[in-house]
Amino acid sequence: MKKRLKPVPVFVSEAEERAFWETHDSADYVDWSKAQRVVLPNLKPTTNTISLRLPQHLLDAIKTAANARDVPYQSLIKIWLQERVEHQ
Q: Residue 50: give the domain boundaries.
A: 41-88
Mean pLDDT of the region 19-34: 93
What is the distance between the alpha carbons of residues 13 and 23, in angstroms, rounded to a whole number?
A: 16
Q: What pLDDT does residue 1 have? A: 57
- 8 within 8 A of 17, measured Cβ to Cβ: no
Domain total in the chain: 1
Read off the pLDDT of residues 73-87 as tens digits, 9 standing for 90 and up.
999 999 999 999 998
Read off the pLDDT of residues 29-75 as tens digits, 9 standing for 90 and up.
999 999 999 888 888 888 889 999 999 999 999 999 999 999 999 99
- 5 within 8 A of 31, measured Cβ to Cβ: yes
Tell me the helix, strand and coil percentages in the chain, rounded to 5.
Answer: 50, 0, 50
Q: What pLDDT does residue 57 have? A: 98
**8 assigned to some structural domain:** no
Neighbours of 66 (CB within 10 A): 18
